[in-house]
Amino acid sequence: MSTTGKVIRCRAAIVWKPGGSFSIEEVEVAPPKAKEVRVKMVATALCGTEMKMLKTKNLQHQYYPIIMGHEGAGIVESVGEGVSTVKAGDKVIALFLPQCGECTSCLNSAGNFCIKFKQRETHLMSDGTSRFTCKGKPVYHFANTSTFSEYTVMNEISVTKIDAAAPLEKVFLVSCGFSTGYGGAINTAKVTPGSTCAVFGLGGVGLSVIMGCKAAGAARIIAVDINKDKFEKAKEVGATECINPQDYEKPIQEVLFDLTGDGVDFSFEVIGNPETVAAALASCHESHGVCVIIGLVTGVQLNISGHLFFSGRTLKGSVYGGWKGRDGASKLVSDYMAKKINLDALITHTLNFDKINEAVELMKTGKWQCPLCPVTLSMMLTN
């Protein structure tokens, strides 16, 4: 029986208040309006962004209840009026970073921060309303996507059609984690052949940075983390050596200078810790070192000595690895299908959707890179 134009009842993971845990609830998902698509989610991941939101009890906004999730892939169930780039039955990647194709960022070859990204700040759709209700109450959207629901509604510019043969339980990683890390090395830092790189933080995104550095031809890739259990996987995807800051009495930037002689050519902060950002920048070569912030650093001030920039170091930000949302996701899925990139190594465990709170606890242990929750919904742990 067709569900087009009808309200769909399904399960979603709702957070009812700041600092709360996920609650699996039955929700009503309204049909898509103009320029919107309704998608049946197949795979999604728990990312560091959600982990930070769950830990924060005093958020600046009060957008609750809310359905989180911003990394996922699914199949289009129906489309609203005026949608022309996807149709029912298409496999799609959900994009927290949309690509409208019309704003100054989208039209600039060097930009990718689409102005429509700011719509996420309202946690509602373009018309100022929600497509979700639960127990008679409207439920807020998250990051233009809300992938922690069996069905979700997104703007057309927040999805991109992919190869019909692509395995969604693998390629959904290009929705955020893999693209962010891999592109941070390839696009933002522009790692050069023969260079030396340092990667701070070895979650799923950090491992993707390592893969990007390796693909760019880096000769030496130093992985940095306080969890030695992550070292084996880091070396598997391309790290040449791994170090734990807790094994040394001196600051990690001094350790890296000792190891390299003059500092690293490229460093990547993939944790979102202001102190680590300062250390990563200080680890760079004085004259030409480039440090890229990939971890989510918001709501804090960076305390960095201006002296670090005097001789030529560069500090850069990066969102979605510098890829334009729709174009980048499509390209990376095509590269996966052509066996140019390997996403399989980033998926360590799979959980059912109703185990999402178990995924949160496992994420906290640092034992998983990302948790994936399959078919009804997949959950992959990335941090």
Residues with catalytic function = 47, 50-52, 70, 100, 103, 106, 114, 176
Cβ atoms 152, 181 nearer than 8 A: no
User: Tokens standing for 173?
Assistant: 């990683």
Within a 13 Å sphere around the CA of 216, how many CA atoms are in the beta-carbon half?
27
CA max distance for the chain: 67
Looking only at the bridges linking them, the beta strands covering 196-200 and 36-46 are unpaired
Cβ atoms 346, 173 nearer than 8 A: yes
User: Tokens standing for 334?
Assistant: 């095509």
Cβ atoms 371, 363 nearer than 8 A: yes
Helix (H) or strand (E) holding 200, with range, is strand 196-200
Q: Under DSSP, is residue 75 helix (H, G, I), strand (E, B) or coil?
A: strand
368 phi and psi, to 5 degrees?
Answer: -110, 150
